[in-house]
A = this chain, B = another copy of it.
Amino acid sequence: MHFADELIKKIKTTSPICVGLDPRYEQIPMHIQQDAPTPGAAFFEFNKGIIDAVHDIVPIVKPQVAFYEMLGLDGLAALSRTIQYAQDKGLMVLLDAKRNDIGSTAEAYANAYLDTEGDFVSDALTVTPYLGLDGIKPFVDKCDKNGKGLFILCKTSNPSSGDIQDQKVIEKDLNLYELMGQLIDTWGADLIGKEGYTSIGAVVGATYPDQAKQLRKLMPNSIFLVPGYGAQGGGAADVKPCFNKDGFGAIVNSSRGIIFAYEKSSAHTSEQYGDAAREAVVKMKEDLESVL
């Protein structure tokens, strides 16, 4: 398998949407809370309902591991079951763990998440580049070997992302996020597949469309993972610069806006949270298609 080829193939028959599986116990419908023996069991049951509802209209889901780690071992068991269930349903799984370390420690992380078997093995992983090439290469090597994917933080969606990422570096008169873009482009150059995209992608927030435009030019072959749509204020027009002219090159993530759509829907009860999620994906797809 080649991660980027597989993802593009799936996008063509579904949508460029990534569903963030970020469960929060207090927002899980009461009927699930009541039947589940533990909070982790509730997480899994909730995720199962979301996956069942959207598995044929999105290519990929993204569990945010922080919410599972917060529940300790119970939560991590739920994460493991969620990964397995999503993959059994034909979905790709991108684990949002923002891991980072060097040398043999980075290799250990790569083994945990990008190997061929294990409790948390996924199709792709998010990583943070503060440590430089030593902190990225072990992950890239593992992607190359096992056909997995990587999304490296580049320009993130949060208000203070500029504290570090917007610093103007003297070398080549670039902002740090632009330098990161150049580095990511280089790091991914050997992993370009038949569809023209490399398995080494970048995280580029929907909240900074001008920066996304520059970054699209610097990383023509990378797939962008785009957070910040919906809840964080990014709209379809803001997301547009993350895509290439071929209409590909980005997956737009939405978490709360999809999985907890039932809370804002007058047409759905909490038992129908899956239907509400599906409707939210369909609407989001229409919204994205209106600008692409």
Contact = CB atoms under 8 A, between A and B. Distances in A.
B102 A100 contact: no
A161 interface: yes
Contacts of A77: 73
A99 B128 CA distance: 9
A168 B165 contact: no
A75 to B, nearest CB: 8
B64 A105 contact: yes
Interface of A: 22, 64, 66-67, 69-70, 72-74, 76-77, 80, 98-103, 105-106, 108-109, 111-113, 118-120, 128-135, 153, 156-165, 167-171, 176, 179-180, 183
28 contacts: A64-B101, A64-B105, A64-B108, A66-B101, A66-B108, A67-B108, A69-B108, A69-B113, A70-B108, A72-B118, A73-B76, A73-B77, A73-B119, A103-B158, A128-B130, A128-B131, A129-B163, A131-B161, A131-B164, A132-B165, A133-B160, A163-B183, A164-B180, A167-B176, A168-B170, A169-B169, A170-B170, A176-B176
